[in-house]
């Protein structure tokens, strides 16, 4: 179905754009900062922010806005309608318990991955990850698995659409180098990340296919770099990821 421009509610679109400017790096913003981040003019950004505050989706101290937990209703409603989290969570819990390491499942949303399920055995990142959390795809193991499953021109377009900052000294930021890595990931069936997202974190990820062989999500295991060498990731964890992959293939749509 083609959506006509006349049927689009511009105010809603602008309000959603304002919500999306709030990130872990920018949890507290002024009107001017939101205007810049959203691409809206200052007056429009102000009206959107004040509306969010009036509806309970944001707090305002007279200068800065922060989102409130009420915003989680939007994401929770989405996750509640998706069969994927319900299908994978029990298997993910069992996998994490078996390996003694944290594991997650995510999907691709533009240039980001969005966590839809997580089983944590120990804290391996400085930020708290949970369903709904987002990380950039270009430097995460699950992100590279999902980017590698796309046609090459689509993956390249996503890499070109946003900045690729170096999160650590190990992060690949050159689009051509990342594309080359995606080729390896596609051929070998898994992705390895060695401290590219955060120092001290290593990760291995594999795609989750549906019954038609389409990669619809990715699963990973994250481990402390001080305890597991990068050369140990495949022998220690890949078969377990393949087992989860096999168990889910017949039931994912």
Query: Distance from first CA to last CA of the chain, Å, rounded?
Result: 21
238 phi/psi in degrees, rounded to 5: -65, -40
- Please list, in sequence order, all residues whose beta carbon lies within 8 angstroms of the beta carbon of residue 75, skipping any fewer than 6 positions away: 131, 132
For the segment 186-227, what is each residue's pLDDT rounded down to a tens digit? 999 999 999 999 999 999 999 999 888 999 999 999 999 999
The answer to whether residues 205 and 190 touch, using CB atoms and an 8 Å cutoff, is: yes
For the segment 158-167, what is each residue's pLDDT rounded down to a tens digit? 999 888 999 9
pLDDT at 29 over 90: yes
For the segment 84-110, what is each residue's pLDDT rounded down to a tens digit? 888 888 899 999 999 999 999 999 999
Measured at the CA of 106, the angle between CA 200 and CA 116, to 5 degrees, comes to: 110
pLDDT at 81 over 60: no
Over the range 103-135, which residues count as b (16 or more CB within 10 Å of their CB) and which as e?
A: bbbbbbeebbbbbbbbbbeeebbeeebebbbbb
Residue 138 is predicted with a pLDDT of 97
**Residue 253: pLDDT band by 50, 70, 90 thresholds?**
low
Cite the beta strand spans of 94-213 per DSSP E.
102-109, 112-119, 134-136, 191-194, 201-209
Cite the beta strand spans of 96-248 per DSSP E.
102-109, 112-119, 134-136, 191-194, 201-209, 215-224
**Residue 76: pLDDT band by 50, 70, 90 thresholds?**
low
Largest CA distance in the chain: 57
Beta bridge partners of 202: 194, 223
The answer to whether residues 222 and 104 touch, using CB atoms and an 8 Å cutoff, is: yes
Quick one: average pLDDT of 13-40?
Answer: 92
* Helix (H) or strand (E) segment spanning residue 66: strand 65-67
């Amino acid at each position: 179905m083609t959506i006509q421009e006349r049927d689009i509610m511009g105010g809603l679109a602008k309000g959603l754009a304002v919500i999306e400017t709030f990130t872990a790096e920018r949890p507290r913003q002024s009107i001017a900062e939101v205007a810049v981040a959203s691409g809206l003019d200052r007056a429009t950004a102000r009206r959107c922010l004040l509306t969010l505050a009036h509806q309970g989706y944001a707090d305002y101290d007279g200068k800065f806005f922060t989102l409130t937990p009420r915003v989680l209703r939007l994401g929770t409603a989405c996750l509640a309608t998706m069969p994927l989290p319900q299908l994978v969570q029990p298997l993910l819990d069992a996998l994490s318990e078996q390996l003694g390491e944290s594991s997650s499942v995510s999907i691709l949303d533009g240039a980001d991955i969005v966590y839809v399920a997580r089983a944590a055995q120990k804290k391996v990142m400085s930020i708290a990850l949970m369903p709904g959390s987002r990380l950039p795809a270009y430097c995460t193991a699950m992100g590279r698995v999902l980017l590698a499953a796309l046609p090459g021109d689509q993956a390249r377009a996503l890499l070109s659409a946003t900045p690729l900052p170096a999160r650590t000294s190990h992060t690949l930021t050159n689009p051509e180098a990342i594309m080359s890595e995606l080729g390896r990931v596609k051929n070998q069936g898994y992705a390895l990340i060695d401290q590219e997202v955060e120092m001290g974190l290593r990760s291995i990820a594999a795609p989750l296919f549906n019954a038609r062989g389409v990669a619809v999500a990715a699963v990973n295991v994250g481990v402390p770099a001080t305890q597991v060498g990068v050369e140990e990731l495949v022998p220690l964890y890949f078969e377990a990821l393949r087992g989860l992959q096999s168990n889910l293939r017949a039931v994912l749509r």
